[in-house]
Amino acid sequence: MNKSIKNICCIGAGYVGGPTMAVIADNCPDITVNVVDINKDRIESWNSSNLNELPIYEPGLDKIIERRRNKNLFFSNKVQENISNADMIFISVNTPTKKKGLGAGKASDLKWVEACARQVARFAKGYTIVVEKSTLPVKTAEVIKTILEAAELNNACKNLKFEVLSNPEFLAEGTAINDLEFPDRVLIGGENEDAILSLHKIYRNWVPEEKILHTNIWSSELAKLTANAFLAQRISSINSIGALCEATGADVREVARAIGTDSRIGSKFLDAGPGFGGSCFKKDILNLVYLSEYFGLPEVANFWEGIVKFNTWHQHRLSRLIIKKLFGTVSGKKICILGFAFKANTNDTRESAAINICKDLIEEGAILFIHDPKVDPKQIEIDLEKKEKYSNNKLKNQTQTLSEGGWYSTKNIIDSSDGADAIVVLTEWEEYGQLDWEEISRKLRKPAWVFDVRSIIPYDKIKALDLNFWKIGDGSK
């Protein structure tokens, strides 16, 4: 049954559902795209007339929303109605690591995916193609299929018919729109040629034919986990070499450049930093670990688990290093943290390295002034599991009144460096590469340290100043 798609419903209006559907709507003006979510606040923000209030900060997204919203792109909480009207349904809900029960700490929690499948089974009409957009463990399609097939049998009179496809998303936050517009590849896994063709046709509106890959459904599910595992593995690899560079006098950027010119290795994803963050790398590797254990492959499981363990060790290594450089104690010392998002150009803080590093420093009694251009201080409060100390700006600058072991949010880097012992750059926001170091240096309490964990600070701007400088993976200074 070759189906021409006129009406899409996407369940889940998050970091994937929102941008992905916006780009589909933008490239397929004849298709109506309904993005639904159970979270009322999120949908309200997607519908806000102020485009600065969209729930997700992603460069270029606001322009597409402005162009397509309420034309062929709609955001609502009407889950049931939009499932009923859809020819094709994307499941784009969260799949976090299970917190309790079987597989806790490793396996993905599929309760939201299962809930979606049950909603689809209940409300869909006629022939519907169900697309897994969430990142899912291998064989999840089977779970979805089983639920949908039960609905087909129980509602024989409704002529229900489902096909399930896997179409994992490879976008990275901060570059999501570009990644969606110009993907390296689009992956479609499935068994039914007609269903595959229906989805293929949608992507063909803007993606070249040769970039749309077809595989069986399990390869598609596993390819997504594998891609994230390989990418994360590169980061742990380069960070491990960075630690060795610091110990030996080498510079990790030079090593990365030297190995990156080998076309078999490639130059991307070799930036040493505070360790990978984001909602997916850790979760997806742990999922791979769980699957490997489940299928009786403990050596495979251990291999991948090492990548996550190293990443956590690396983050704590950085906290310890900062403390050591500040004479072995940060108790009562003021430290400016630049950047809290897990990478630049996103407001997402999930699994950000800044969380572990800030928690460690607070635990040791430091007073942190945290700056991030896009992250809401309320989110920092949730992540650090600690309330901000004062909200009164005046008090914030009177360091003598500060008690140890807490944090403050700040919008003014210069003011907050007043009396601080250190500046720590944790996210590579462009503006941190353009700071007025002369002015900051005048404000800092000497001897002061600058910790550049993202290699973003131009050394020539600070080398003449009375500052100690440490850069990730640089043993040459």
Q: Edge-to-edge, what's the strand order for the sheet holding 449-452?
A: 406-409, 367-371, 334-338, 422-425, 449-452, 468-471
Where in 1-50 does DSSP place strands (E)?
Answer: 7-11, 32-36
Stretch that binds ligand NAD, among 38-46, 391-399, 413-421, 424-432 (CB under 6 A): 38-46
Name the residue whose CB lies closest to ligand NAD. Answer: 14
Tell me how far apart the alpha carbons of residues 339 and 322 are, in angstroms, rounded to a whole number: 16
121 to 180, contacts with ligand UGA by CB under 6 A? 135, 169-173
Nearer to ligand UGA, 96 or 105 (CB): 96
Hunting for tokens 């430290």 — which residue is that?
Answer: 335
Which of 280, 282, 305, 333 is flagged as catalytic?
280
Task: Say whether residue 444 binds ligand NAD (CB under 6 A).
Answer: no
- Under 8 Å between Cβ of 316 and 360: yes
Q: DSSP characters for 315-364?
A: HHHHHHHHHHHTTT--TT-EEEEE--SSSTT----TT-HHHHHHHHHHHT
Tell me how far apart the alpha carbons of residues 315 and 326 are, in angstroms, rounded to a whole number: 17
Q: Would you give the distance in Å from CA 215 to the centre of its chain?
A: 26
Phi, psi of 75 (to 5 degrees): -115, 130
- For residue 276, give the amino acid letter: F
Active site residue 378: no
Where in 106-253 does DSSP place strands (E)?
Answer: 127-132, 161-166, 186-189, 212-215
Site string for ligand NAD, 226-265 (x = CB under 6 A): ----------------------------------------
- Under 8 Å between Cβ of 322 and 368: no
Shortest separation between residue 455's beta carbon and ligand UGA, angstroms = 10
- Under 8 Å between Cβ of 88 and 129: yes
Stretch that binds ligand NAD, among 15-23, 261-269, 372-380, 395-403 (CB under 6 A): 15-23
Nearer to ligand UGA, 18 or 278 (CB): 278
Q: Out of ligand UGA, ligand NAD, none, which partner does residue 42 contact, by CB within 5 to 8 A per kind?
A: ligand NAD
Active site residue 336: no
C-alpha distances in angstroms, 122 versus 10, 141, 160, 211? 16, 18, 10, 35
Question: Using the rule CB under 6 A, which residue among 235, 420, 435, 440 binds ligand UGA?
Answer: 235
Q: Out of ligand NAD, ligand UGA, none, which partner does residue 276 contact, by CB within 5 to 8 A per kind?
A: ligand UGA
Site string for ligand UGA, 327-346 (x = CB under 6 A): ---------------xx---
Question: Using the rule CB under 6 A, which residue among 32, 72, 94, 349 binds ligand NAD?
Answer: 94
Active site residue 446: no
Q: Out of ligand NAD, ligand UGA, none, which partner does residue 134 contact, by CB within 5 to 8 A per kind?
A: ligand NAD
Shortest separation between residue 462's beta carbon and ligand NAD, angstroms = 34
Query: In the numeric block, which tokens belong to residue 365?
Result: 């009694």
Nearer to ligand UGA, 170 or 390 (CB): 170
Shortest separation between residue 171's beta carbon and ligand UGA, angstroms = 5
Helix (H), strand (E) at residue 381 = helix 377-384
Q: DSSP characters for 135-169?
A: ---TTHHHHHHHHHHHHHHHTGGGT-EEEEEE---
Question: Using the rule CB under 6 A, which residue among 120, 217, 280, 361 binds ligand NAD?
Answer: 280
Task: Say whether residue 15 binds ligand NAD (CB under 6 A).
Answer: yes
- Under 8 Å between Cβ of 275 and 235: yes
Task: Say whether residue 93 binds ligand NAD (CB under 6 A).
Answer: yes
Stretch that binds ligand NAD, among 8-16, 188-196, 253-261, 407-415 (CB under 6 A): 8-16
Question: Could you tell me which residues are beta bridge partners of residue 73?
Answer: 33, 69
Nearer to ligand UGA, 45 or 178 (CB): 178
Question: Using the rule CB under 6 A, which residue among 5, 10, 17, 292 binds ligand NAD?
Answer: 17
Binding site for ligand UGA (CB under 6 A): 135, 169-173, 228, 231, 235, 269-271, 273, 276-278, 280-281, 342-343
Annotated catalytic sites, by residue?
169, 224, 280
